[in-house]
Amino acid sequence: EVQLVESGGGLVQPGRSLRLSCAASGFTFDDYAMHWVRQAPGKGLDWVSSISWNSGSIDYADSVKGRFTISRDNAKNSLYLQMNSLRAEDTALYYCAKEGTGTTGTHYFDYWGQGTLVTVSS
């Protein structure tokens, strides 16, 4: 059974840093790209960042570029998101999501964690 368990969220002041973790199990972690997706309270889904299986390809939403860093440790089956210079608008539930790939090359999020809440407030 695929499991994704996020941790590291909490209340942080604007301008400070936080590091999120996602522990993966139930699949061969280093075979798949992974993503972070966030959801502000009462709002929709917002893709944040992605990392390929070997960390060779990394991408960010413009809203977090230069402030957030995604990484992974395949030996530990873990995904991370280092968040620096946090802003009030970064307040959200942060989901870790596994990328699936269809036979025609399409991509999707086939498994999601339960999320970890990040609140940025003074």
Partner 1 sequence: DIQMTQSPSSLSASVGDRVTITCRASQGISRYLNWYQQKAGKAPKLLIYAASSLQSGVPSRFSGSASGTDFTLTISSLQPEDFATYYCQQSYSTPWTFGQGTKVEIK
Q: Which residues bind partner 1 (CB under 8 A)?
A: 35, 44-47, 50, 59, 61-62, 95, 100, 102, 104, 106-110, 112-115
CB of 11 to partner 1, least distance (A): 20
Q: Please identify, using beta-carbon distances, which residue of 23 and 61 lies nearer to partner 1.
A: 61
CB of 18 to partner 1, least distance (A): 20
109: tokens are 């999020």
Q: Rounded distance, CA 85 to CA 113, Å?
A: 25
Give CA separation, 100 vs 42, 53, 66, 118, in Å: 27, 12, 27, 26
Q: Please identify, using beta-carbon distances, which residue of 30 and 46 lies nearer to partner 1.
A: 46
CB of 61 to partner 1, least distance (A): 5
Report the 10 Å Cβ neighbour count for 95. Answer: 21
CB of 95 to partner 1, least distance (A): 6
Q: Please identify, using beta-carbon distances, which residue of 35 and 72 lies nearer to partner 1.
A: 35
Q: Are residues 30 and 21 in contact, defined by beta-carbon separation less than 8 angstroms?
A: no
Torsion of Cα atoms, 58 then 97 then 22 then 13, to 10°: 80
Q: Please identify, using beta-carbon distances, which residue of 5 and 84 lies nearer to partner 1.
A: 5
